[in-house]
Amino acid sequence: MKKNLFILFFIFLIFSYLYGQKAPKNVILLIGDGMGPVQVEALSYLKSGKPAVMTQFPYHGISNTNNLRDSITDSAAGGSALSTGKKTLNGHVATDENGNPNENIVEWVSRENNMGTGIIVTSHITDATPAAFYAHVNSRKEHEEIARQLVFSDLDFVAGGYLNYFLPEERKDHLNLLDSLDIRGFTLNTSIAEMNNAVAAKPFVMLSEKYPPKASERESWLQNCMYNAFDCLTRHTNGFFLMVEGSQIDWACHDNDFDHFADEILEFDKAVQIAYEFAMANDETLVVVTADHETGGMSLDPAIKKVKKKLVSQEVGKYVTWGTKRHTGKPVNVYAFGPGSELFQGEMENTDIYLKIKNLLNRKH
Ligand code: MG
Ligand code: ZN
């Protein structure tokens, strides 16, 4: 009897060790908007053959990006799949096909786990991808309504562009959302210096009044935001969820502009490096890198006659060619590091990424 009890206790110890090991305290989700597998391959050529940081992660998978009805998603449906675990129609921001809100991960981790939450993007803060993490609207074009919902969201750290959507003189309804932000405990920073000097509990960091600048004109804004987000979010004893988007990878690929793409994806690689270093030192952080869809139908080939092309890599003689100025239905890659990262292997749906993160965080209870 005593021996059986001992064996049972031993089995319990092994299970609780294995089980407990896999639950991350913090989650960092990095989204390269429009970043298909070829874009990641191009990144390694741009680094003169050095691998992209994400490809150094131990676990890799493939995510299908189709939306509820179509094989080709936009960033609203794609972002919503990642933020809510439910597929929807293009244009919908975290609402189902009938317009009912689908709970997003920021709402869920705040309510269930009392975790800190943040988003950092290099686009308008009200753009479809970030909006899917705090707003519920049936049209991604409702920027002023999305801005209004951001003020009343559960977010603790917000960084992105287009401050004008918050200013009464710029809004159609003349609401003063800056006053509302203040009441909600946010502190507005409009420069890197301001942000670095502030010790605000809830920083609201704005990159631009209107259209956000390209990577070549942002200096180290994104990296600085990440360090500030870590300072702010690690104060939450129950851990944090942070979403970081390389937003303009998509814009550059829509324009078939390889130089702009290069700047954006190299900066995104640095953002992944910062998340990776944080997770290495912290030991309780899951880092997941993926994309909402591929943009541009990018391919890298030897020189093809009569096709407009640009040399990407002298060493391997690769040229970039573009198949479209729109999104494609190609699957995208998923890369994971940290506790629970082994779940992100093989083929999955974009909605599975949300479900896997949620299941892992559920284990904390
Ligand atoms: Mg986006
Ligand atoms: Zn796009």
pLDDT tier at 16, thresholds 50, 70, 90 = low
Instruction: Output the CA torsion 288→294→296→297 (10° steps).
Output: 120
Q: Where are the beta strands (DSSP E) in 125-269?
A: 157-161, 186-189, 202-206, 240-246
Report d(CA 60, CA 68) in Å as an integer. Answer: 25
Report d(CA 39, CA 269) in Å as an integer. Answer: 12
Output the CA 93–ligand 2 centroid distance in Å: 14
Q: Which ligand is nearest to the CA of 264?
A: 1
Output the CA 189–ligand 1 centroid distance in Å: 22
Output the CA 327–ligand 1 centroid distance in Å: 12
| Residues shown for the chain | 365
Over range 178-196, report the average pLDDT. Answer: 94
For residue 270, give Cα distances in angstroms to 53, 221, 222: 8, 12, 9
At 205-217, the pLDDT tens digits run 999 999 999 999 9
Over range 120-143, report the average pLDDT. Answer: 98
Output the CA 332–ligand 2 centroid distance in Å: 14
To 10 degrees, what angle do helices 258-282 and 221-233 make? 30
The pLDDT score that the predictor gives to residue 313 is 74
Coil vs helix vs strand at 320:
strand
Considering only 1-10, 79-88, 117-126, which range has the smallest mean pLDDT? 1-10
Considering only 98-102, 144-148, 200-204, 317-321, which range has the smallest mean pLDDT? 317-321
Over range 235-261, report the average pLDDT. Answer: 97
At 43-56, the pLDDT tens digits run 999 998 899 999 99
Does 159 score more than 70 pLDDT? yes
Considering only 11-20, 47-56, 167-176, which range has the smallest mean pLDDT? 11-20
Phi, psi (deg, nearest 5) at residue 84: -120, -15
At 58-81, the pLDDT tens digits run 999 999 999 999 999 999 999 999
Output the CA 334–ligand 2 centroid distance in Å: 19
The pLDDT score that the predictor gives to residue 9 is 63
Output the CA 306–ligand 1 centroid distance in Å: 33
Q: Which ligand is nearest to the CA of 253?
A: 2
Model pTM score: 0.93
pLDDT tier at 301, thresholds 50, 70, 90 = confident
- Average pLDDT over the chain, rounded to an integer: 93
Q: Which ligand is nearest to the CA of 248?
A: 1
Q: Amino acid identity of 274?
A: I
Over range 34-45, report the average pLDDT. Answer: 96
Output the CA 253–ligand 2 centroid distance in Å: 8
The pLDDT score that the predictor gives to residue 196 is 86
The pLDDT score that the predictor gives to residue 302 is 82
Do 320 and 312 form a contact (C-beta atoms < 8 A)?
yes
Output the CA 356–ligand 2 centroid distance in Å: 25
State both tokens at 61: 């998978």
Nearest partner of 23 among 135, 111, 115, judged by Cα: 115
Residue ranges of domains in the chain, CATH in brackets: 23-362 (3.40.720.10)
Output the CA 365–ligand 1 centroid distance in Å: 32
Greater model confidence, 9 or 168? 168
Exposed, middle or buried by CB within 10 Å (0-12, 13-18, 19+), for 309? middle
Output the CA 214–ligand 1 centroid distance in Å: 14
**Percent of the chain scored above 90 by pLDDT?**
84
Over range 101-107, report the average pLDDT. Answer: 98
